[in-house]
């Protein structure tokens, strides 16, 4: 066959970890005992749905005390206002001095401030009481429930009550070697790395059993730094997850495509391996063959090699009968067309 440049795609599989678009830790805001757990592990919850009920009767008592304080403050305001109303006409008639009216007005202002403070105390008490009912801040899936009914909880506890993961869309985080990043993006149009990233082909997520996930994703973000110890950069690919098949914490691999527009392809059966090196027989002038060492990369289907070094366009490569050939043998070549359509995706 005559080697000619063709379009094909190579793939690189890199380990990845899945995280939900939103992972919220649910923590208590007050001290108390778990009175009720209204969800189960792995359940899908809606935003605002109650998850836990904490027993803390002191906060109910604080609300009642604050409500009583407001009534007392309102009575004091009413009394102070009556005093102002009583003194004002007497001052107008010069029966008593202006000082008495000012004193009554200052007393009214003081009582109004006390009423405002009582209302703030009630609002704070109601806020604390609302913390006894813990609701989901977003739609998502409930994680593990390490604590049971009757457990004591505090705001300072290290472990959360649970997590809520929004997995309608998931992020797959992975690291790629700097050299691979350059190879992947070199042929993609764009003036900046972000422009090249936006034009990258869709990627595939391979689940833990090796099977490809049903929907394609896109690489949407990349770290601006390269790890000096590993020489790799962190990336994030986003996948739609309408059926919830991918869960937070899942592991797998992201399959990254590398389109090639001028690749030199040869069938793997046209090569042989010797001491860890790959060779093909090239037909030279006078139909004499020469064993040429080549650097190759297999296509995903495993039928062909992409020759990265060792061949040039127009070289003629022997396809059959390699076992009986030796360096310098003169052959009668029969031109053959190879169907490479199976190598394209």
**Strand 277-283 to strand 289-298: parallel, antiparallel, or no bridges (unpaired)?**
antiparallel
* pLDDT for res 324: 83
Question: Whole-angstrom Cα distance, residue 297 to residue 265?
Answer: 10
Question: Whole-angstrom Cα distance, residue 143 to residue 77?
Answer: 52
Tell me if 234 sits within 8 A of 175, measured CB to CB. Answer: yes
Give me the percent of the chain exceeding a pLDDT of 70. 99
CATH architecture of residue range(s) 261-343: Beta Barrel (2.40)
Complete DSSP assignment for 237-280: EEEE-TT--S-TT-EEEEEEEEEEEEEEEEEGGGEEEETTEEEE
> What are the backbone dihedrals phi and psi of residue 195, each rounded to the nearest 5 degrees, phi first?
-65, -40
CA angle 290, 294, 297 (to 5 degrees): 145
CATH superfamily, domain 57-131, is Helix hairpin bin (1.10.287.470)
pLDDT digits (tens, 9 = 90+) for 164-217: 988 889 999 999 988 888 877 777 888 888 888 888 889 999 999 999 999 999
Q: Name the pLDDT band for 237 (thresholds 50, 70, 90).
A: very high
CA dihedral of 320, 323, 324, 326, whole degrees rounded to 10: 100
* pLDDT for res 151: 94
Question: Whole-angstrom Cα distance, residue 242 to residue 231?
Answer: 35
The Cβ of residue 327 has, within 10 Å, a number of other Cβ atoms equal to 9
Q: What is the mean pLDDT of residues 21-45?
A: 92
Helix ranges (H only) for the chain are 57-92, 98-130, 178-185, 193-198
* pLDDT for res 217: 94
* pLDDT for res 344: 46
40-49, 95-104, 127-136, 243-252: range with lowest mean pLDDT: 95-104
Question: Whole-angstrom Cα distance, residue 273 to residue 280?
Answer: 9
Q: What is the mean pLDDT of residues 133-152?
A: 92
Class in CATH terms, 28-53+133-159: mainly beta
* pLDDT for res 342: 55
Tell me if 242 sits within 8 A of 169, measured CB to CB. Answer: no
Tell me if 49 sits within 8 A of 37, measured CB to CB. Answer: no
pLDDT digits (tens, 9 = 90+) for 279-319: 999 999 999 999 999 999 888 777 889 998 999 999 999 99
Q: What is the mean pLDDT of residues 131-153?
A: 92
Hey, what CATH topology would domain 10-20+170-259 get? Elongation Factor Tu (Ef-tu); domain 3 (2.40.30)
* Strand partners of residue 291: 281
Complete DSSP assignment for 85-133: HHHHHHHHTTSS-HHHHHHHHHHHHHHHHHHHHHHHHHHHHHHHHHTTE
What's the mean pLDDT when you consider all of the chain?
89
30-44, 85-99, 155-169: range with lowest mean pLDDT: 85-99
* pLDDT for res 216: 94
pLDDT at 345 over 50: no
Q: What is the mean pLDDT of residues 231-237?
A: 89
> What are the backbone dihedrals phi and psi of residue 322, each rounded to the nearest 5 degrees, phi first?
-65, -30
* pLDDT for res 121: 95
pLDDT at 42 over 70: yes
SS3 at position 29:
coil
Place of tokens 């009720």: 36
Q: Where are the domains of the chain?
A: 10-20+170-259, 28-53+133-159, 57-131, 261-343
Contacts 24+ apart (CB under 8 A), 219-223: 219/256, 221/197, 222/193, 222/197
């Amino acid at each position: 066959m005559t080697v000619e440049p063709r379009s094909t795609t190579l793939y690189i599989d890199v380990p990845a970890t899945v995280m939900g678009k939103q992972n919220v830790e649910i923590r208590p805001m007050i001290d108390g005992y778990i009175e009720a757990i209204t969800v189960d592990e792995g359940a899908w919850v809606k935003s605002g749905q109650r998850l836990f009920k904490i027993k803390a009767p002191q906060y109910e008592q604080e609300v009642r005390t604050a409500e009583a304080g407001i009534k007392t403050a309102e009575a004091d305001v009413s009394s102070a206002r009556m005093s102002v109303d009583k003194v004002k006409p007497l001052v107008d008639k010069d029966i008593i001095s202006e000082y008495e009216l000012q004193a009554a007005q200052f007393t009214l202002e003081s009582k109004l401030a006390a009423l405002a403070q009582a209302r703030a105390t009630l609002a704070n008490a109601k806020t604390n009481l609302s913390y006894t009912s813990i609701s989901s801040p977003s739609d998502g899936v409930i994680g593990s429930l390490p604590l049971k009914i009757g457990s004591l909880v505090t705001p300072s506890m290290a472990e959360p009550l649970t997590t809520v993961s929004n997995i309608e869309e998931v992020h797959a985080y992975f690291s790629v070697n700097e050299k691979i990043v350059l190879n992947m993006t070199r042929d993609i149009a764009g003036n900046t790395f972000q422009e090249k990233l936006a034009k990258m082909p869709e990627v595939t997520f391979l689940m833990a059993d090796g099977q490809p996930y049903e929907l394609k994703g896109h690489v949407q973000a990349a770290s601006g730094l390269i790890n000096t110890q590993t020489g790799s950069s962190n990336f994030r690919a986003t996948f739609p997850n309408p059926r919830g098949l991918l869960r937070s914490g899942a592991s797998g691999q992201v399959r990254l495509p590398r389109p090639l527009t001028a690749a030199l392809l040869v069938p793997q059966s046209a090569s042989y391996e010797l001491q860890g090196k790959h060779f093909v027989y090239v037909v030279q002038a006078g139909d004499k063959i020469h064993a040429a060492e080549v650097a190759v990369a297999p296509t995903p289907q495993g039928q062909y090699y992409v020759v990265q070094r060792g061949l040039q366009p127009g070289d003629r490569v022997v396809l059959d009968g390699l076992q009986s050939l030796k360096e310098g043998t003169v052959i009668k070549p029969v031109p053959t067309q190879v169907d490479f359509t199976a190598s394209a995706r």
